[in-house]
Structure 1
Amino acid sequence: MPHGRPRPADAPDHELTARIRSGADQEAAAVLYERHGPSVLAYARGCCRSAHTAEDLASEAFARTLEAVRAGHGPHAAWRPYLLTVVRRTAAEWAASERRTVLSEDFERWCDGPSGAADAASAEDRALRDEDRRLVLHGFRSLPERWQAVLWYAEVDREPAGTVARLLGLSRSGVASLTARAREGLREAYLAAHLRRTGGDEECRRYGSLLAAAARRPEARAKRALAAHLDTCPACRRAMAELTDLNERIGAVLPVAVLLWGGERLVSGAAATAAAGGAGTAGGGAAVPAVPVPDPTAVGSWPVKALPWGAGAAAAAVAALWLAAAPWGGPDSDGPGVAAPTAAPSAAAPPSDRVPRAVPPPASPGPTGSTPAAAPAPGGTATEPPVRAAAEPVPAPHDRTRLRIAATGRCVEIPDAEPAYGVQAREATCDGSAGQQWDVLMPYEGDRGRLQVRNTATGLCLRNSGTTKDREPVVQHRCDAGDRRQLWWLYTEDGTVGSLWDQDVVMILGLADWYEGEKGLPHSPRLATNHNYYNSSSFRLLFDGVLFDGRMAEAAERPS
C-alpha cells in the first residue's frame, strides 16, 4: 500500500473499509458511522413508530453491515445505499416477527402488500421478487462501487462536490468526470440488463444501441426503423421510457428503484436541502438538512431529517454502542473472527456485496513505476524476441481460478506456459495445466477494483494495450502494481461469472473474434480487448467458485 495513510477522518470510504477488514482500526468504523449515520437514521425513522425504535433499527443495520465487512463481504465504497437497503430488509424481517408492532403503519402496509397477509413471503420475499423485476436496480448493482457511490451522493443526496470528493478520495474536478462516466455506465448497464431479459432476441439486440442514443436526445425524432420496432415490441418500448426517465430524473429514479420503499422521500428531503442551500458535509459536524413539512393527508408522509450526529460526544457514544454490538476481532486477529451474519450477505445485504468493485482515485501512486512492454505482433508475441522473465519475489494470491470463456467453455492460457514478456494470452481446451491457472492479486489492500491477474505457471501478469482500439492484444508482462495497464476492474453477475475491464471501464477482456466465438464459428483463439458489443458472452468469464470467499486461496496454498 502507499505510505503515509491519511488520518481516518480524512480518508475516503474505501480506505476506511480496508482498515476495518484488517481488524486493527476501530476508529475507521466510527468515522463511517459519523458520515452515514444521519441518512441511515432518517430512513429508519420512516420505518418505525418512534425515534427510539428507529435508533435500534439503524444500529442493527450498521452492526450487520460491519459484520459482513469484517467477514470479507459488504460494501467497499458505496456505504450509504448499502446501509439503507439493509435498514429496509431488516425492517421487513421485523414485520414477520413479534417486533412488527414497532414498525410504522405505512411500512406495515407495504410489507403486507395487496393481500394483507403479514408473513415473510408477503414481505421480504415479495420485495426480493420486486427487486428482480427492476432493471434499474440490476443495472445499478452491476456498476463498480465507486460509480454507485458517486451517483448516490451527487445525484440522489445532492452532496456538494467537496463532500463527495472526500468520501471517494477524488478531486472536485474528478467528481464531475466520474459522475458523467457513472451516468453513462448506468445507461449501458440498464440496456445490458434489458437485452438479457429479452432472451437474446436478435431484433432487440440490433436496436439496443439506438435505444440508448434516443433516450439521450428525446427531443430528436427516432429513426424510422427503431420507431417501427418500438411499435411492435412492448419490452423495448418500456425500456425506452425507463431510459428516458433515468436520463432526465436519475436522482429521483435511483432511490425508488434501489430501496423499493420510501425512496421518494429521500428525493424530497434532498430537494428541500438543496433549495435551502444547506447541503450537509460528511463527517466532522454534518449540517442538518432542511426538514420538509409533512402532508398529513398523504399516505406515508414523514419528515426526512438527518439528526445532528456530527463530531462530538453524541456521535462517539452512538458509535461506541455500534462497535460494542459487533463481534470485533482483536488487533492480532488474522481473520474476520466471526461467521457471516445470518441475514448478511445473502438476506440482509444487497447482492452486490459478493465482490465489490471500487473505482480507484485517478492519481493513486503505485509501489513502483511501470515498465513499458513491446507492442505485440498479430501472431501473439512481441515484435522483438520475447524477453525471458527474471525471477522475482512472488506475492501470495488472494484467489486462484481458471478463467473460462462463457461463449466457448474453453480456458484462458499462456501457450506452453512460456515465461517470456509479450506472449499473448489465448483460449484453449481446458486440460488442468498450470498455464491455465490464474492468481488474482489485490495489490492495493481492500481495493477490489484494481486487481492483477497473474499466470500461475509463468508468474507474469496480464497487460492490456492501453488504447481504445478493438482487438488489441492482451499479453503477459512483469507484474507491476504501478502499471495501470495491468490493473483490471472486476464486474460480477452472480459471484462465479464476471468480466474484466481496463481502468477506464471502456475496454473489456475477451476473444478478439468475439462475434464468431459467440456464434460457434471458426475464430482466432487470441485474447484481446474490445468495446463491450451487445454484452457478448465472449467477454464473460466463468470462475471456479465465488472469488474472494477464501476457499480457493486456501486450496491454492495447500501443498500438492
Structure 2
Amino acid sequence: MYGPHMTSAAENGGPGAPTGPGGAPAEPSDAELTAAVRRQTGGESALAELYRRHHSAALAYARTFVRDAHTAEDLASEAFTRTIQAVQSGRGPKEAWRPYLLGVVRHTAGEWASSARRTELSADFDRWFHELHGAQGADTQSAEERMIRLEDGSMVLRGFRSLPERWQAVLWHSVVEGEPAARTGMLLGVSPSGVASLTARAREGLREAFLSAHAESAGRSRECRRYGTLLGSAVRRPGRRMPRHLRRHLDDCAGCRRALTELTDLNQRLGAVLPVALLLWGAPAYLTARLAAGVAASGTGAVSPSGSSGSSASSATHEPVTAPPPATAASPWGATAAAVAAAAAVAGGLLLLPGGEESVRTAPAPAASTSSVAPVPTVPKPPSPAPEPPSASATPSPSGGSASPAPGTRAVRGAAVPDPAAEDRTRLRPASTGRCMEIPAGSAAAGAQAREAACDGGAHQQWNLLRPGGDGRVQLRNTGTGMCLANQGTQIDDAPVTQAVCDPSDTRQLWGLHAPEGAGEARFIQDGGTMYLGLDDWANAADGKPHTDKIATNHHYYGSPSFGFLYDGALFDGEFTDS
C-alpha cells in the first residue's frame, strides 16, 4: 500500500525502469538532464537534449500567440532561455519541463502584450488578454501580476501545480498530449507499466488537489470546506444517492455547485478539460498541432513534431517521438483528437476570474487563421539539384574544360549573362562576435564554405542582397566572388553553408529574412522555417570563448546572438518583407 505521494520501484526508475540494448541504461530522463544542468557537468549537451525534446512543443504553443512564424521562434526561444536561467539558478522545473515551459511562453506573451512588441501578437490574443482584464483595473497592474491573477483564478491549474512534479509531468504527457507510454516513460525514466500506475495515482491526486484549492479559495466558508470531501465522494460514486444535507448546501451555494460541475468534468472528461484549464489560451490550436505532428510521425516513421526527418534518434534535431499508432478512438492519439474536439466544443473552457468564482468568462478559441492556428507540419522537401555546369559554349578554361561563369554573371543555357543588380549591399557580422562573414580569400570555387573573420573592408566580406521572387525571400551574393550562399537543404544541425553559382530557382539559395524594425539585426532562415544561418560553434561564440569560424545552419538554440547578423545602414531602406 502506498501513501499519497509514494510510488512503486518502476515509477521511480528502479526495477522495471526502461533500459537500452543489453541492459544498458536508457536515454537520460528529464530529471537527470536537469540535474546535469544544475551541476554544470555535461550541462551543454544536457541543454541541447532538453531543447530537442521540448522546443517543438514550445514553438507550437508560441504560434498561437503571434502573427508569424519568425516571431513565434523569438517567443519560444525567449521562453526557453528564461527557463534555462531559472534551472541554472536552482529554480524552475525538475521533471515537469513541458507544462512549466509552456507557462513561461504564456507569461512572456503577456509581457509583450504590455510592451512595444504588442504589434507582433495575434489580434485574437491581444484582444483576449486586454478585454479579460479590462474590468479588473488591469491598468494599475503589471503584465506579470495580471497573468498570475488569471492563473490563480483557475482552481484546476492551482491544484495541478500543487502536485509533485512527477505527477504533473505524467498527466501532461499521457493525458493532455496523449503520448505513448514508452515515450512518456523515457522522459520520466520509468517503464511503460510504471507510466500507467503513475497516471492513475496522479489523476486521483489531482481530484484531491482540486478540492483543496476549492476549499482554500477566498471567501469560502467553514461549511464549504466541510463539504469538500463529500463533493469528492459524490463524483467518485455517481450512482449513489447524494446525502440530503449536501444537496441542501448545493442548493444554497453556487460556488460549490460550480466546483461539483468542474470536478465531475475532471473525473469524466479529463483529457478535454485539463488542457483548456492548464493552458488558459490556445489549447485547441496547440493540441491540433501536436496531434498532427504525432500522426505525421506514425505515417513516416521518422518525423518529429516540427516536421523534421532523420534516420535515427541520434541524428534527429527535433524532439524525438515514438511513432504512435493510427489515431483511433482506442489509442492515446485518438483520445487526444477527441480532447481537441471536446475542448473546441466548449469554446476554450470556463475561466474563473479573480475576485469571485461567480464571474465567469469564456476564453475564445483562437480563430482558424494563420495568426492562431499552427500549420500542419510537413516533411521537408529534398534539396534541389545542384545547378548544371556551363556547357561547352561557355568561356573555355586554360585547361580546355568549361570555366565557371565570371564574377557578376551566371550561366543560362550555357551562356554567361549579367547578374541582376544588387537591391542592397552590406557587411553581415554575427551579432555574438561583431566580425565579418566572408568567403575565404575571395575564392571563386564552388563549394567554398563561408566563415567569419576580422573585418578588413574587402569585397569578399560584402554581400549583395537580392529578392528574385518578390516574396520576401533573399539571395545572399558575395560581392567579391559573384556567387550565392546555399544551404544543404537538411534539418540536421551543423550543416555547412557554401557558395554556388547563383540560381534563383535553387531553393537552397533562398533565405527567409527576419529583421525587426529598429533592431539592427537580421536573421536568415532556411526554406522551411526551422534552420538559421549563423556560426556553427554558436554556444562558445556567444560566451566569448574560442570557437571555430565556420558558418552553418542550426536550429535557433536559446535565441543565441550567433544566429543574428548586424548589418550596415537600413536594410532595403526599411522596406523589406518578412517571409
TM-score (norm 2): 0.49
Distance in 2, Cα, partners of 1:322 & 1:69: 21
Distance in 2, Cα, partners of 1:316 & 1:35: 16
Given candidates 13, 24, 48, the residue that maps to 2:41 is: 24
Distance in 1, Cα, partners of 2:540 & 2:267: 43
Name the counterpart of 1:340.
none
In the alignment, is the contact (CA less than 8 A) between 1:41 and 1:58 conserved in 2?
yes
Aligned ranges 1:347-426 → 2 under 5 Å: none
Q: Deviations over 1:265-304 (max 9, x none)?
A: 2344455567788498796543599999999965875136
- What is the deviation of 1:126? 2.7
Given candidates 10, 28, 50, the residue that maps to 2:27 is: 10
- What is the deviation of 1:51? 0.8
Which has the greater radius of gyration?
A: 2
Of the two structures, which has the highest relative contact order with CA contacts closer than 8 Å and spacing of 6 or more?
A: 1
Q: Does 1:312 align with 2:312?
A: no
Distance in 1, Cα, partners of 2:366 & 2:222: 51
Given candidates 296, 300, 303, the residue that maps to 2:374 is: 303
Q: Does 1:180 align with 2:200?
A: yes
Which is further off, 321-330 or 253-262? 321-330
Name the counterpart of 2:94.
76
In the alignment, is the contact (CA less than 8 A) between 2:155 and 2:213 conserved in 1?
yes
In the alignment, is the contact (CA less than 8 A) between 2:124 and 2:367 conserved in 1?
no
Name the counterpart of 1:251.
271
In the alignment, is the contact (CA less than 8 A) between 1:163 and 1:281 conserved in 2?
no
Change (3 A) 1:121 1:324: farther
Name the counterpart of 2:185.
165
Q: Percent identity?
A: 52
Q: Deviations over 1:24-55 (max 9, x none)?
A: 22101100110111110011111111111111
Change (3 A) 1:319 1:245: farther
- What is the deviation of 1:97? 1.5
Distance in 2, Cα, partners of 1:58 & 1:9: 28
Aligned ranges 1:71-470 → 2 under 5 Å: 71-113=89-131, 115=134, 121=141, 123-197=143-217, 201-270=221-290, 278=298, 285=316, 286=320, 298=368, 301-303=372-374, 305=376, 312-313=492-493
Q: Deviations over 1:311-343 (max 9, x none)?
A: 83278979989957987999xxxxxxxxxxxxx
Distance in 2, Cα, partners of 1:52 & 1:167: 28
Change (3 A) 1:227 1:311: farther
Aligned ranges 1:454-493 → 2 under 5 Å: none
Q: Deviations over 1:445-497 (max 9, x none)?
A: xxxxxxxxxxxxxxxxxxxxxxxxxxxxxxxxxxxxxxxxxxxxxxxxxxxxx
Change (3 A) 1:149 1:200: same
Distance in 2, Cα, partners of 1:41 & 1:168: 22
- What is the deviation of 1:305? 4.7
- What is the deviation of 1:225? 2.7
CA RMSD of aligned residues (A): 4.2
Q: Does 1:48 align with 2:66?
A: yes
- What is the deviation of 1:69? 0.4
Q: Deviations over 1:428-456 (max 9, x none)?
A: xxxxxxxxxxxxxxxxxxxxxxxxxxxxx
- What is the deviation of 1:308? 7.5
Distance in 2, Cα, partners of 1:296 & 1:202: 40
In the alignment, is the contact (CA less than 8 A) between 1:113 and 1:122 conserved in 2?
no
In the alignment, is the contact (CA less than 8 A) between 2:83 and 2:101 conserved in 1?
yes
Name the counterpart of 1:338.
none
Partner of 2:178: helix, strand, or coil?
coil
Letter in 2 for 1:24: T
Q: Deviations over 1:192-245 (max 9, x none)?
A: 111112667343233222211222243543233322221122221111011011
Change (3 A) 1:216 1:59: same
Runs (5+) with no aligned partner, structure 2: 1-12, 306-312, 328-336, 345-364, 381-489, 495-529, 547-579
Name the counterpart of 1:66.
84
- What is the deviation of 1:164? 0.2
Distance in 2, Cα, partners of 1:144 & 1:195: 20
Letter in 2 for 1:23: Q
Change (3 A) 1:175 1:327: farther
TM-score (norm 1): 0.51
- What is the deviation of 1:9? 8.2
Partner of 1:11: helix, strand, or coil?
coil
In the alignment, is the contact (CA less than 8 A) between 1:34 and 1:311 conserved in 2?
no
Letter in 2 for 1:63: T
In the alignment, is the contact (CA less than 8 A) between 2:293 and 2:376 conserved in 1?
no
- What is the deviation of 1:166? 0.1
Change (3 A) 1:267 1:111: same
Partner of 2:214: helix, strand, or coil?
helix
Letter in 2 for 1:109: R
Letter in 2 for 1:82: Y
- What is the deviation of 1:96? 1.5
Partner of 1:10: helix, strand, or coil?
coil
In the alignment, is the contact (CA less than 8 A) between 1:66 and 1:326 conserved in 2?
no
Which is further off, 250-259 or 217-226? 217-226
In the alignment, is the contact (CA less than 8 A) between 1:96 and 1:118 conserved in 2?
no
Runs (5+) with no aligned partner, structure 1: 331-560
Which is further off, 63-72 or 258-267? 258-267
In the alignment, is the contact (CA less than 8 A) between 1:67 and 1:326 conserved in 2?
no
Change (3 A) 1:194 1:127: same
In the alignment, is the contact (CA less than 8 A) between 1:14 and 1:77 conserved in 2?
yes
Distance in 1, Cα, partners of 2:237 & 2:66: 42
